[in-house]
Amino acid sequence: MAFLRSLLFALVFYPGSVVAVLVAFPVALAGPAALRRHAVGWTRFHSWCARNLLGIRSRIEGPVPEGCVLIAAKHQSMYETLELLRILHEPAVVLKRELADMPGWGTIARRYGAIPVDRTGSAAALRRMLVAGRAAIAEGRSILIFPEGTRVPPGQQPPLRAGFAGLYKSLSLPVAAVAIDSGRLYPRHGFVRHAGIVTFRFADLLPPGLPRTEIEAAVHQRINALDTLAEGG
């Protein structure tokens, strides 16, 4: 049954996504706000497909932040990338430069206001990221970052990448850490998805201005909270 559900999802969501990307080009001519509304519509389409075709639903725990906040989230699958765009009201997303440089999709991502990051961690790359981050703040948008830098399977808890600390220090925003357990239902690799509930656990805000070691430790513990619970039974 899980295979058939996954096959139906693939036959509906991915062709629909191609259409959404193609439609995004003329929509982008109307400006960033129109493109962001279109992007949220795409994420709602994904949510509908996940819920009705895969049997996957989202559960939100804790306070969803409002206003300009730096949101640091666990990253186990594509599921939360799209769901958080829907839940958080059009945040600016920090994403790998390789994705932003993809023909077609990358152009749309940049016009949406995504923030490309060069994972070499150079000073010039950080400066470019900060310029884009300040532009997002000026528009009243939160910034979403996956501070571990990549999708990881359940149980893996890599250290945070340096870009998170750089944004936190330079932008002086409070941080909302989000634990997510999507990987057990919607794996990073593999075709088959499984029905169930994905939890998004929003921790209380962490204030700006904490020492780097303290903020990194606090965020790391909070985004991995659901992993810790799973390991403890």
Which residues, 6 or more positions from 111, have their beta carbon under 8 angstroms from its beta carbon? 28, 32, 35
Q: Quick one: CA torsion of 37, 38, 42, 43, rounded to 10 degrees? A: -20
Q: Where are the alpha helices (DSSP H) in 155-224?
A: 162-171, 212-223
Asked which of 78-82, 88-92, 141-145 is least confident by mean pLDDT, the reply is 88-92
- Boundaries of every domain in the chain: 57-231
Asked which of 1-5, 65-69, 104-108 is least confident by mean pLDDT, the reply is 104-108
- The model scores a pTM over 0.95: no
pLDDT tens digits, 19-67: 999 999 999 999 889 999 999 999 999 999 999 999 999 999 999 998 8
Q: What is the DSSP string of 113-164?
A: T-EEE-TT--HHHHHHHHHHHHHHHHTT--EEE-TTSS---TT--PPPPHHH
Q: Quick one: CA torsion of 102, 179, 145, 66, rounded to 10 degrees? A: 120
Tokens of 123: 């000073």
